[in-house]
Structure formats: C-alpha cells, structure tokens
Amino acid sequence: MCSGRVDLEFILRAFANGQDGVLIGGCRLGECNYVTHGNYDALSTVHLCKKIMEYIGLNAERLKIAFMSGAEGNLLAEVTDEFTGTVKALGPIGKAEGIPADELKLKLTAARKLVPYLKLVERERLRVPSKSENAYKAFFENEENNKLVDEILANKMAVSQIMLLLEEKPLSTSDISRRLGLNPSDVSRHMNRSSTHGLVWYDTASNCYKSCHHCES
C-alpha cells in the first residue's frame, strides 16, 4: 500500500486507542512507484499531525516517518529498533505527558472530528509549492504557516471539544471554561458563532448552552 493512503484519521485513531507510537514507512522520496508521489502526501500528513500532537500536549516524537526501498530490510530493522527505543523511553502515551486519560480522549476525539476540515485546509492553504523534503520541512517551519496552523487549531479544536461536552449534557460558560481551561470570553465567542451556525442554543432558564443535536435526539 502506498504511504500516501495513510490517512490523518488512522494516526489519530491509533493514538486514541492507546498506541504509544506510530511509525510510517514509505518508499524513498523521488522514487515513488506511482505517478502521484503519495509519499510526499504522507510527509505532509505527518507534519500536520505533529502540529496537532504538540497542540494537544503529546510528544511529537511519538510519530515518525521513514523512507527506504523494499530492498533495505536492514535499514527497516534499524529504524524500527530505534523508534521502539524512543517510544519506550517516552513512556505510556498521555501519562508520560501528564495528561489525564479523559482529557486526552476528549482532545483526540475532537481532533479526529476535524480531519475532513483539516484536509481541506491543507489542500487549499497549506499546499507545499514543490516536492522535496527540504521544501516540506521549510514550509511547515515557516513562521507564517505555523501561525495559521496554530490559529486554526486553537479555534476549531476548542469548538470541537465544546460540542463533544455539550453532547453529554448542557453546560454554562463557566462550566466549559473550567473544563477546557479557556477564557470565558473565548467560550462566549465560540458559542455565539456556533449558535449562528445552528449547532447550539442558549437556554435562558438554566443559563446553559445545549447542543442542537443533543436536543433533537
């Protein structure tokens, strides 16, 4: 299977299921067996996923991509052994980073729900101009691009987490702020926008926000 078919959702799902590390192997850059050069798509996915992991609070070293030919069995063994050692040294996912299990589950679930949107953003606004490893590295280390990714994650992840919490039960602004560590004014801003989009409504009787999906069900 081409490494380009490794979806962002697959990686996040692996972490959500408790895997301590994910290693992706692909053919050497510039030597793809397909005209699509899917290994560059895999490289882009890994860069984006590492940004998500850093935002969540996970050590980005838990994810690695390595490129090699099908004849380099020895290299595969070396890379696998090295990565296994790295992951063992990092320790159990979440616990080693000091993230409570329920908080990590919420964040990873929220990130998984954003995958279709993030892939659209990547296609339209995070398209690397040329296919080379250095170009991808420079692109994702660019301050302007980092600012764009951080802004997207800060806003979309917050809303995604809030919606997950509201599907469980109605919550007030202070409840949401306390659960997610957000500024109450930011919560209100996110909820006003979500209300405009028909995702939530404010119950004046209880002073709580409710998920429209939750209320319908």
> Does an H or E element contain 74, and which?
helix 73-90
Domain assignment of residue 184, yes or no: no
Identify whether 206 is part of a domain.
no
**Residue 208, domain member (yes or no):** no
pLDDT of residue 136: 86
Extract the residue ranges of the chain whose pLDDT is less than 50.
Answer: 216-217
In a domain, 124, yes or no: yes
With respect to residue 95, please indicate whether it lies within any of the assigned structural domains.
yes
DSSP string, 134-151: HHHHHHHH-HHHHHHHHH
Q: What are the phi and psi torsion angles at 171 (to 5°)?
A: -140, 150
Environment class of 162 (CB within 10 Å of its CB; exposed 0-12, middle 13-18, buried 19+)? buried
Tell me if 162 is assigned to some domain.
yes
Q: Give me the number of domains the chain comprises.
A: 1
Q: Match 């995702």 to its residue by tokens.
A: 199
For residue 200, is it left (φ>0), alpha (ψ between -120 and 50) or beta?
beta
Closest CA to 206 of 174, 168, 158: 174
State which residues form the domain around 61: 3-168
Tokens 């992840």 locate to 157
Please tell me the pTM assigned to this model: 0.88
Inside any domain, residue 191? no
Residue type, 138: A
Q: Are 40 and 29 in contact (CB under 8 A)?
A: yes
Residue 150 placed within a domain: yes
Q: According to the model, what pLDDT value does residue 216 have?
A: 47
Residue 35, judged by CB atoms within 10 A of its CB (0-12, 13-18, 19+), counts as exposed
pLDDT at residue 214 in the model: 52
Q: Mean of the per-residue pLDDT values for the chain?
A: 90
Which residue type sits at 78?
A: E
